[in-house]
Amino acid sequence: MSEVREVLGAARQAGLDVVAITDHNTLVNAIAAQVIAHEYGVTVVIGEEISTRQGHLLGLFLKNRVSPGSPLAETIGAVHAQGGIAIVAHPYDPVSFGVLNPWRGSMSEEDLLRLGFDAIETFNACLPTRRPNERAVELAGRTTAAIVAGSDAHSAATVGLATTLFTGRSAEDLRQSILLRQTTARGQRWPLRLYVDLFGKRELRYAGVAASYALALCGAAAMAAALAVRSGIVRAL
């Protein structure tokens, strides 16, 4: 919802040394941001949030776009083939396409843990409740993967709400810290007003995104209600 220069200005204001631009299934804005990042005193990592068959995967340090729609395992391989870092994004997100989204059931924890990803996003600022992030922390404890945080910034206002701490200040320092499992994740969730902005009338050009979120929320609520009723019937019997 923001222009490249707005995002870079927000990154500078937030005191970030490195910012990863990971638009959905495209590198266009990340490449544009990297070209002018020196004007803002920040370094840009070219990335992509890739829509795999099982859910979202973050690819960092990319040279070429990774096509969406492939299985997660193949997509991780495609990221690694160009020297990139593969990060499992918001794995337990119950609304968006986390690979372990409890309403989709497209992959089990055991299946995911067998894959060769580099890091897990254990704090995602866009998630409205704590439990999905807490579960991601628990999952990370079962792997040798690094942990990272993401603002999931849909606008400049959310840039820097979540940060990944690492030793050094450069993009290469970040890469090495992830590979050596020496990162720390921290952050705060989006304030309510930013969700309102996302769904607000001034963002009608993103009505498709808003509608998908609304439908997913309604579906989740309906399923929870059905499970509650079923559970009550079983107890009554």
Task: Give tens-digit pLDDT for 125-182.
Answer: 999 889 999 999 999 999 999 999 999 998 899 999 999 999 999 999 999 999 999 9
Tell me what pLDDT residue 1 has. Answer: 86
Instruction: Give yes or no: residues 129 and 205 share one domain.
Output: no
Please state the domain count of the chain: 2
Instruction: Give yes or no: residues 154 and 220 share one domain.
Output: no
pTM of the full predicted structure? 0.83
Instruction: Using the structure block, give the residue that is written with the tokens 């490449």.
Output: 31
Instruction: Give yes or no: residues 92 and 172 share one domain.
Output: yes
Question: End-to-end distance of the chain based on CA atoms, in angstroms?
Answer: 52
Instruction: Give yes or no: residues 58 and 111 share one domain.
Output: yes
Instruction: Give yes or no: residues 186 and 228 share one domain.
Output: no
Instruction: Using the structure block, give the residue that is written with the tokens 């792997």.
Output: 143
Instruction: Give yes or no: residues 185 and 205 share one domain.
Output: no
Instruction: Give yes or no: residues 127 and 227 share one domain.
Output: no
Q: Based on C-alpha coordinates, what's the Rg of the chain?
A: 18
CATH number of the domain to which 52 belongs: 3.20.20.140
Beta strands in the chain (DSSP E): 18-21, 43-51, 56-60, 85-88, 119-124, 146-150, 162-165, 184-187
Instruction: Give yes or no: residues 46 and 92 share one domain.
Output: yes
In this structure, what are the phi and psi dihedrals at residue 112, rounded to the nearest 5 degrees? -65, -45
Instruction: Give yes or no: residues 151 and 227 share one domain.
Output: no
Summarised one tens digit per residue, pLDDT across range 11-59 is 999 999 999 999 999 999 999 999 999 999 999 999 999 999 999 999 9
- The domain of 212 spans 200-236
Instruction: Give yes or no: residues 161 and 217 share one domain.
Output: no
Which pair of tokens denotes residue 204? Answer: 């009608």
> What's the number of CA atoms in the CB half-sphere (13 Å) around residue 176?
7
Instruction: Give yes or no: residues 49 and 135 share one domain.
Output: yes
Instruction: Give yes or no: residues 88 and 162 share one domain.
Output: yes
